[in-house]
């Protein structure tokens, strides 16, 4: 069972461009969380999704950021018109409510976004 | 609003020392508490998870305790090794199993040979 996969691992964008970050959860996991780690700061929750539904987006900026987790395919975190302050590491975690280890969120390796 | 604090922010010790990392949280209504390790430029590795009904968990040289009533957890590392050098993150999950994790700022540990 492969772990949580994120791509790209590194992404460079110029100000004003769009960034798309992908997260493939562990097999059988239907819950996905996105977290952001700004330089010199701790990880902060952004959004929690289940298949085709956004459950909690209280940590996501209201402008320019959106997330989806379609029925088929990976979860996508989309940042429009990026600014330098968006430079950070973005981590995805997946979770299941069935089977063993149901209380643990499994983290991917992260996508490091650099905005020039 | 739940806040998680970790002390110290950084720690440097000689190899072989036993050490304690501290984590405190403001709201005792948690589902569980988890300790992670993060190596530079890498993702998070789960070390220990303590359910709200538990007092401690052990894995090898690591022991984590939880005192929910006082809002504290400690991670004890025995006989530290250079390979233990990393940032250690404490995270609490709110009152439901599907809740988000709220992280502390982390303690960056350096173990010198």
Interface contact flag, B101 A102, Cβ < 8 Å: no
The pLDDT confidence band at residue A58, using thresholds 50, 70 and 90, is: very high
Average pLDDT over residues B35-52: 92
Please tell me if residue B96 touches chain A, with a CB cutoff of 8 Å: no
Using CA atoms of A36, A89, A80, A53 in order, give the dihedral in degrees to the nearest 10.
Answer: -50
**Contact present, B21 and B11 (Cβ < 8 Å):** yes
Structure confidence by residue, pLDDT tens digits, A12-24: 999 999 999 999 9
Q: Copy the structure tokens of residue A116.
A: 């020039």
Average pLDDT over residues A77-86: 97
CA distance A116 to A64: 17
Structure confidence by residue, pLDDT tens digits, A1-51: 578 999 999 999 999 999 999 999 998 888 999 999 998 788 999 999 999
- Give the distance, in angstroms, between the CA of residue A74 and the centroid of all CA atoms in the same chain: 10
Please tell me if residue B13 touches chain A, with a CB cutoff of 8 Å: no
Please tell me if residue B102 touches chain A, with a CB cutoff of 8 Å: yes
Residue B86: which of B17, B27, B10, B19 has the closest Cα?
B10
CA A37 to chain B, closest CA, distance in angstroms equals 10
Bigger pLDDT: A60 vs B95: A60
Chain A and chain B share a number of CB contacts under 8 A equal to: 54
CA A5 to chain B, closest CA, distance in angstroms equals 11
- B35 → chain A, closest CA residue: A104
Say yes or no to pLDDT of A99 above 70.
Answer: no
């Amino acid at each position: 069972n492969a772990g949580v996969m994120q791509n790209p691992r590194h992404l460079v964008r110029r100000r004003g461009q769009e960034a798309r970050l992908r997260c493939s959860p562990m097999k059988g996991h239907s819950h996905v969380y996105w977290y952001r780690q700004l330089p010199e700061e701790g990880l902060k929750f952004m959004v929690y999704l289940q298949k085709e539904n956004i459950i909690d987006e209280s940590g996501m900026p209201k402008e320019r950021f959106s997330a989806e987790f379609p029925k088929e395919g990976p979860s996508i975190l989309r940042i429009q018109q990026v600014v330098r302050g968006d430079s950070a590491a973005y981590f995805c975690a997946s979770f299941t409510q069935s089977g063993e280890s149901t209380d643990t969120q499994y983290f991917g390796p992260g996508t490091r976004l650099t905005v020039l | 609003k739940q806040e998680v604090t970790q002390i110290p922010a950084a720690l440097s010790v000689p190899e072989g020392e036993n050490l304690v990392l501290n984590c405190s949280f403001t709201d005792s209504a948690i589902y569980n508490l988890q300790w992670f390790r993060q190596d530079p430029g890498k993702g998070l590795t789960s070390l220990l998870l303590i359910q709200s009904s538990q007092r401690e968990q052990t894995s090898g040289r690591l022991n984590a305790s939880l005192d929910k009533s006082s809002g504290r957890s400690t991670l004890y590392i025995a006989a530290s090794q250079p390979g233990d050098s990393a940032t250690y993150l404490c995270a609490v999950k709110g009152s439901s199993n599907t809740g988000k994790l709220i992280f502390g700022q982390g303690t960056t540990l350096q173990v010198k040979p």
